[in-house]
Structure 1
Amino acid sequence: MKEKAENIPVYSLHNFSKTEGENQQFQVEVFDANRHFAVKYPHRHDFYEVLYLAKGTGFHVIDGNKYEIKPPCVFFMSPGQAHKIEVSHDIEGYIFIFTAEFYLINKSNQNRLIEFPFFFTVQQDNPPLIFENEQDILFLETLFKKGIKEMEKVNIDTVELLRSLLDLILTSSALLYRSDEKLLKGKGHIVVKKFLQLVEENYNLNLSVAEYANKIALTPNHLTQTVTQLTGKTSSEIIKSKQILEIKRLLVHSNLSVTEIALRLNFTDQSYFAKFFKREVGVSPLHYRNRSLNG
């Protein structure tokens, strides 16, 4: 019997972090039987996950599909996917969890994440990547080990290195990943992927949920229900999350004034733009810029 979506908890990255605070954007660590957090299964994440398993047995259930764990293999999880995992006591591997903001903050291609074949798949099946080549295995393990070592001394420079290591993990995995075009397509997943692509392409227009729904030929309620069911977030939350990410990027990586950023993202009311950002982030745009630039 499938769990109802509203009964499945949605966790943020800080729920899986051993450090205090709620602003973590990434974590790289060993994955073994000693890794325990106070979370319920099944659950959803609002972040991405790359789980590499080198040893052990068990099962991983993702969106109702049950996969046998056959190391060495990698499971990829997108925000909103419901999953639960059952593993043997000798399980060994590595895990890299991260937010979209962490990966995309310096990317000119903001579609980058959803272009990976293992993220936001429109297929009903999302199987793991099985490794067969020893060199590929050693390369991936080296990237994870380097990431764990860098986590011990996180600063501005090492964060950039960790971001580069993640990019290598994802890019090299994508080259090996093979999707089966014969698998059935899930209509809900197609709607969600189309919505996410539209948000990536039109975030600068400051469109409403109704305007996005119209582009997909759905009612706003139907769109929001589908998106919430498959991601754990409402359509409005996803739109706002993308807008905030882009505002942060422009505040930190451009010389545009706050007014110019507001106009670029089609916020005609400067006062509302500042209030919107402060409500979502907790500080004003200028405060965020000064804090970020001063380390």
Structure 2
Amino acid sequence: MRLGVIFRPDFPPHELRRIATEAEAAGVDELWLWEDCFQQGGVAQVAVALAATERLGVGIGLIPAPLRNVTAAAMEFATLESSFPGRTRVAVGHGVQSWMRQAGAAVESPLTLLREYVTALRALLAGEEVTTEGRYVRLSQVRLEFPSARPYPILIGGTGPKTLRLAGEIADGVLLDSRYTSDTVTDALRHVAEGRAAANAPSRSFSTTLFLACAPGADADRRLAEEARRQDVPPTGVFGVGGDVGQIAAGLAPYLAAGVDAVALQPLDRGVADLVGAAGRVRAALP
């Protein structure tokens, strides 16, 4: 499995370089970032983290499809891949609809847009010439001059059953946010499996990444319970991981058993540096 940490978009942007270098030094596999509207730009964050490190994988999840033209997004990701080959993973979603309306980017059928967007994005990054007249994605003989030199993994992130099934059907992986418990993650992955089965794609390489709330150190149970209430997490199963290194490592087990193969630990507060150190020690203790 891969173990990563998350730099939340509400953290001060100037701290990103330091956290990225600390994550690499700690030995974690990945640093994940995400783009919430009106906070930090996801592509810019990825570029900063990649430039500050030598081997660290950097994931961006989510990029909201309504907010970014697919051709422009493909150019950005292809440029990052050319400069830092094999180090980036991208997850695309349909965005928080209230934010999409604020930004003047909302669409009537977010799921249709997501299907068209991911299909076109994959083809563009593969160097194909793309002409399509979809409901939302319309391209005429578009081909990148500098496409990805390798198959570029595109994940879909979301929570609804239809979005999760779409991820299984057309994406290279799924990204699950931190609201899942050890029980509900199993339900989510069942929807993903249904999408894979419907597409007859069980042999296609597929990754399952989970953002997981983490409270290292003392008083972890109380802090996780407060976070669960804040996010209105269903009271079934175990929410998040916390405590000392052994407790965090043991807490990962039910998520891995459910089918998760990559975990990004999400800090509950500004103490991301403490979480990075704990994650590095957990990573060293795992196979």
The structure with more strand, counted as a fraction of residues: 2
Q: Assess same fold via TM > 0.5.
A: no
**TM-score normalised to structure 1 length:** 0.29
**TM-score normalised to structure 2 length:** 0.30
Tell me: higher relative CO, structure 1 or 2? Use CA pairs within 8 A at least 6 residues apart.
Answer: 2
Give the structure with higher Rg (CA): 1
